[in-house]
Amino acid sequence: MILVLKQGTTREKVDDICKWLSDSYGVQTSPIFGSGTTIIGLVGDTSAIELEAVEMHEAVERAMKVQEPYKRANRKFHPDDTLIKVGGVEIGGNKICIAAGPCSVESEDQIKMVADMVRDSGAALLRGGAFKPRTSPYAFQGLKAEGLMYMKRARESSGLPVVSEITNPAQLELFMEFVDMIQVGTRNMQNFELLKELGRVRKPILLKRGFANTIDELLMSAEYIMSGGNQDVILCERGIRTFETSTRNTLDISAVPVLKSRTHLPVFVDPSHAGGIAWLVEPLAKAAIVAGADGLIIEVHNDPKHALSDGQQSLTPEDFKSLVGRLRPVAEAIGRSI
Ligand code: PEP
Ligand code: MN
């Protein structure tokens, strides 16, 4: 349920209403002080609350039931776009944020070098996998804790905040120390025990859509994290599995505007894993920007032919640089910047 309060309701009054609602109905309240109006979102069993009874309150303009099962992630709860700070970088505003870097961290020198190059080309965040969820147990599994330490050092040398994928709640302590944003990969989008743990921490989460999950399921996974207390969730469309075999996955471009209408959370697109081929990154990235994405996550490798994972879809740092040059006017055409 959502209560829209009358203009000019004081913070004190808002606190009183929240206390009254939680004392009388046992629901959790989250007030959102927006530009102009204040909204109180109610979560929990609201079935005993009658809209008319709440609307009788002098400060309440109107009350509405929220039909969707996701509450905190719902745009009705929070009409303004949410801005999330990752290191010093703001995500969800006018500026489109690009995270770039290799699929896997391969050495300290490699990640530092790629970090400097993508930063100079316009990336705002550095990506790099250390715990790799590979389809084959015989494939490179990542440098694990050592890889995360190299990410931290690359952050120190380049100044870019870093993002890396977690695969197990037992790794959480390491991630809290070494990264600025924790990525949940497509294979773990419904690892609910992991999501619950991530709800307890204070660190932004990049939640990628499961390759066989619906948009509603993605929003419910965000709700798992948010209901635990962590509101800093960025969603990422990275392609879903369809009958099409020409591309690694099928980029669900309509997920971007659909998500933007249903949720206030920022939305990223990963054109690298969606297409699975380096030359497809550019058209998919352009489409993502025009569709309204708040950010892109792009794989960039110093030597794609010899990459230990995902070389076929990785750009060279030089290609990344020219790509960003061609993405800037696309962003500007819709009133945004990179
Ligand atoms: C990745 O970012 O390297 C990755 C494994 O992504 P996804 O979970 O989308 O496949
Ligand atoms: Mn990859």
Dist CA 252 CA 269 (whole Å): 10
- Domains of the chain, first to last: 2-64 (3.30.70.1140), 84-333 (3.20.20.70)
Q: Is 142 in the pocket of ligand 1 (CB under 6 A)?
A: no
Alpha-helix runs per DSSP H in 200-301: 215-227, 255-262, 271-275, 281-291
4, with CB counted inside 10 A (0-12, 13-18, 19+), is: middle
Nearest-CA residue for atom 3 of ligand 1:
103
Q: What is the pLDDT of residues 250-285, one digit of tens each?
A: 999 999 999 999 999 999 999 999 999 999 999 999
Q: What is the whole-number distance in angstroms between the Cα of residue 90 and the centre of ligand 1?
A: 22
pLDDT score for 329: 98
Confidence of residue 333 (pLDDT cuts 50, 70, 90): very high
Q: Is 238 in the pocket of ligand 1 (CB under 6 A)?
A: yes
Q: Is 185 in the pocket of ligand 1 (CB under 6 A)?
A: yes
pLDDT score for 33: 87
Dist CA 128 CA 320 (whole Å): 16
Phi-psi region of 87 (alpha: psi -120 to 50; beta: other; left: phi over 0): left
Q: Are 317 and 302 in contact (CB under 8 A)?
A: yes
Q: What is the pLDDT of residues 64-118, one digit of tens each?
A: 999 999 999 999 999 999 999 999 999 999 999 999 999 999 999 999 999 999 9
Confidence of residue 2 (pLDDT cuts 50, 70, 90): very high
Which pair of tokens denotes residue 47? 């079935």
Instruction: State yes or no: pLDDT of 200 exceeds 90.
Output: yes
Q: Is 103 in the pocket of ligand 1 (CB under 6 A)?
A: yes
Q: What is the mean pLDDT of residues 160-185?
A: 98
Phi-psi region of 144 (alpha: psi -120 to 50; beta: other; left: phi over 0): left
DSSP classification of residue 267: E
Q: Note the pTM of the prediction, 2 decimals.
A: 0.96
Task: Please name which ligand lies nearest the alpha carbon of 311.
Answer: 2
Which pair of tokens denotes residue 35? 């530009």
Task: Please name which ligand lies nearest the alpha carbon of 185.
Answer: 1
Nearest-CA residue for atom 4 of ligand 1:
185
Nearest-CA residue for atom 5 of ligand 1:
185
Dist CA 79 CA 76 (whole Å): 6
Q: Is 208 in the pocket of ligand 1 (CB under 6 A)?
A: yes
Q: For 209-337, list the strands marked E by DSSP.
A: 233-237, 267-269, 295-299
DSSP classification of residue 184: E
Q: Is 24 helix (H, G, I), strand (E, B) or coil?
A: helix
Query: Of 20-34, 142-156, 186-200, 218-232, which range is least confident?
Result: 20-34
